[in-house]
Amino acid sequence: MRVTPRRGEHVLLCNVGGSIYAVRDMCTHDGGILGFGDLKEEVIECPRHGAKFDVTTGKAVAPPATAPIRTYPVRVQDGQIEVDLDA
C-alpha cells in the first residue's frame, strides 16, 4: 500500500507474514516506484529495471541498485498503523 504523508515523501507499507514494514517508495537506482512492483515474502522488485530490496532492512539484494532504500519504524496500535517519519 502506498501512502503519502503531509510532508510529501511517498511511503510504501508492506505486509510480510503479518508484520508491517514501511519503506520509502522510491528505488535508489533511478527513482522507480516500488509500489508498482511485486512483493514476494520480504523482497520487493522494482518494476523498471528489476532491482530487488529486502523491505525488512532496506538492503539492496539484486542489481542494478546497490544503495539501500530508507526504512521507517512502524507501530501497530489499536488497529492503526503508525510510521515514524523522523527516525
Q: Contact between 24 and ligand FES (CB under 6 A)? A: no
Q: Contact between 43 and ligand FES (CB under 6 A)? A: no
Spatial contact of 68 and 61, defined as CB atoms under 8 Å apart = no
Q: Contact between 70 and ligand FES (CB under 6 A)? A: no
Q: Contact between 75 and ligand FES (CB under 6 A)? A: no
Q: Contact between 55 and ligand FES (CB under 6 A)? A: no
Measure the CA–CA gap between 49 and 36, rounded to whole angstroms: 12
Taking CA 24 as the corner, what is the angle to CA 23 and CA 25, rounded to the nearest 5 degrees?
105
Residues lying near ligand FES in the complex (CB under 6 A): 27, 29-32, 46, 48-51, 64-65
